[in-house]
């Protein structure tokens, strides 16, 4: 503990020395070597508990999954508001379904969003905490606004029988969700400019801004390409999948399911086209010194998205039968967007000689083993739950789905896995306690 305290003090004094010398010289713009030294000094001296490249990969995958539910949250509300303006029964029915989609999606987005944030904090702690402190008040308000937006969404759901009230609550909810997305966008984007942090924090060397209400960097095309237009696209694909999944249920109605799929295919195509344009504008307006323009990752992301738009266009002929191919194309496209987003972060800091691959590794095997076991067990458990939900969902209302013998055995295996996980979890906790206190 003494050594750790000494290390922490050294970090603080080194950072204060860097900032103090720069302010005394009247310099508020860092030289490249100063920025690199600052970032390395600010990194947690304890290091990472596992190899940074593994956490980087997990961050990319979990961010992509998190964003799928963010997109259906926002897109479901936007399209439900549009549907509520129509008097036709199909639109009113669709609006109620989309509000329910948004309600569930927000819950999943919040839960899954914890994972990429944790991986980010471990390997990019200088970037995240510095940017979050610059806009700390907004970052705290993010939680409040998200809660209010979520409650308004529930009000829209409870009042879905009243078109006017449901629309009012839906508008309030989507405005707050979009603003929450704006806050997260700002905090993430500001982190890519470490050479400006001192200038922003000191107003060019004149005063100390510790109020946390500053908004210092905003990129409209990045915001549109990572939040707004994908929301319409992915929700449109979900509507196509609705037609594919429920089209066989007599109580849903084949005509209605087919109508939802056709409308969804148009939304998906126009949304993907706008997504493609905003994505190109995003890449074109990235600072040239980052070296992202013309890189392999940026070119691949454009090519993959162009192919995705092409698949969305072809899906107009038969929305139901092409819903699965379009879903696969969207999945690949989303992964390439997530990879490019991570590459931008790596490139923006590499110019200062800072690399997460040089991050100190303080290998601690119990945590990664527990995480890996939880992930594998969870995937098997959820695969069973999703399969049963899939089968039950295709069963007409009023009827009960009868599980097969194999499915019963998979259920027993799932119970065993949960029991085994609980025993391992408690066992690891006891091992840690014994190691620390005995």
| Model confidence pLDDT, tens digit, residues 9-18 | 444 444 544 4
Same domain, yes or no, for 214 and 198? yes
The stretch 126-142 carries a mean pLDDT of 92
Greater pLDDT, 437 or 176? 176
Query: Same structural domain for residues 81 and 125?
Result: yes
Mean pLDDT confidence for 302-317: 97
Residue 317 scores a pLDDT above 90: yes
User: 48 and 24, same structural domain?
Assistant: yes
Q: How far is CA 15 from CA 38, 204, 206, in A?
A: 7, 18, 19
With a pLDDT cut of 90, the percent of the chain lying above it is 59
Distance separating alpha carbons of residues 364 and 48, to the nearest angstrom: 9
Taking each helix axis from N to C end, the angle separating 52-84 and 229-246, rounded to the nearest 10 degrees, works out to 80
**Which structural domain, as residue segments, surrounds residue 416?**
365-438
User: Which pLDDT score is estimated for 12?
Assistant: 46
Q: Against a cut of 0.75, is the pTM above it? A: yes
Whether residues 359 and 424 share a domain: the answer is no
Same-domain pairing of 350 and 423: no
Task: Identify whether 262 is part of a domain.
Answer: no
In a domain, 100, yes or no: yes
Distance CA 180, CA 11 (A): 33
170 in the same domain as 146: yes
For residue 113, is it within any domain? yes
Helix extents (H) in 247-363: 254-284, 296-314, 323-350
Between residues 182 and 396, the one the model is more confident about: 182
Q: What is the mean pLDDT of the chain?
A: 88
User: Which of 139, 282, 277, 174 minimizes the C-alpha distance to 223?
Assistant: 282
pLDDT in tens, 164-186: 999 999 999 999 999 999 999 99
Could you tell me if 113 and 77 lie in one domain?
Answer: yes
Q: Which residue, 363, 378, 408, sits at the end of a domain?
A: 363
Give, as one character, the DSSP assignment of residue 352. Answer: T
- Is the domain of 370 the same as that of 359? no
Question: Which of the listed residues 363, 378, 403 is the one where a domain comes to its end?
Answer: 363
What pLDDT is recorded for position 30? 53
pLDDT in tens, 35-60: 888 898 888 888 888 899 999 999 99
Last residue of a domain, one of 343, 363, 383: 363
**Does residue 429 or residue 237 have the better pLDDT?**
237
pLDDT at 228: 97
Of residues 427 and 307, which shows the higher confidence score?
307
Q: Which of 232-236, 292-296, 424-428 has the highest mean pLDDT?
A: 232-236
Number of domains in the chain: 2
pLDDT band for position 31 (cuts 50, 70, 90): low
């Amino acid at each position: 503990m003494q050594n750790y305290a000494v290390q922490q003090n050294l970090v603080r004094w080194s950072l204060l020395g860097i900032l103090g010398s720069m302010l005394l010289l009247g310099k508020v713009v860092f030289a490249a070597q100063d920025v690199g030294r600052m970032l390395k000094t600010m990194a947690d001296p304890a290091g990472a508990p596992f190899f940074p490249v593994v956490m980087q990969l997990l961050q990319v995958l979990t961010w992509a999954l998190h964003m799928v539910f963010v997109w259906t949250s926002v897109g479901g509300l936007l399209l439900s508001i549009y549907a509520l303006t129509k008097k036709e029964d199909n639109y009113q029915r669709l609006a109620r379904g989309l509000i329910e989609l948004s309600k569930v999606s927000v819950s999943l987005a919040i839960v899954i969003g914890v994972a990429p944030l944790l991986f980010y904090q471990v390997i990019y702690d200088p970037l995240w905490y510095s940017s979050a402190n610059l806009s700390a008040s907004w970052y705290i308000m993010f939680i409040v606004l998200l809660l209010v937006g979520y409650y308004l969404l529930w009000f829209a759901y409870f009042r879905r029988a009243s078109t006017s009230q449901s629309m009012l609550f839906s508008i309030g909810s989507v405005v707050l969700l979009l603003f929450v997305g704006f806050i997260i966008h700002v905090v993430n984007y500001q982190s890519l400019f470490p050479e400006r942090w001192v200038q922003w924090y000191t107003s060019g060397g004149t005063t100390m801004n510790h109020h946390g209400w500053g908004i210092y960097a905003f990129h409209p095309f990045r915001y549109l390409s990572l939040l707004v237009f994908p929301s319409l696209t992915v929700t449109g694909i979900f509507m196509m999948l609705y037609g594919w999944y429920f089209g066989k249920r007599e109580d849903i109605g084949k005509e209605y399911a087919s109508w939802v799929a056709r409308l969804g295919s148009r939304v998906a195509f126009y949304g993907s086209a706008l997504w493609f344009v905003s994505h190109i504008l995003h890449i074109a307006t990235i600072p040239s010194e980052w070296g992202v323009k013309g890189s392999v990752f940026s070119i691949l992301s454009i090519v993959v998205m162009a192919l995705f738009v092409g698949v969305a266009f072809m899906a107009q002929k038969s929305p139901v039968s092409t819903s699965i191919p379009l879903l696969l194309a969207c999945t690949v496209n989303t992964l390439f967007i997530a990879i490019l987003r991570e590459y931008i972060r790596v490139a923006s800091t590499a110019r200062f000689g800072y690399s997460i691959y040089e991050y100190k590794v303080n290998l601690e095997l119990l945590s990664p083993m527990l995480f890996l076991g939880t992930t594998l067990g969870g995937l098997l458990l959820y695969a069973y739950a999703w399969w049963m939900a899939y089968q039950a969902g295709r069963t007409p209302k009023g009827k009960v789905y009868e599980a097969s013998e194999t499915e019963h055995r998979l259920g027993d295996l799932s119970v065993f896995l949960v029991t085994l996980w609980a025993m391992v979890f408690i066992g690891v906790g006891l091992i840690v306690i014994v190691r620390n206190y005995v």
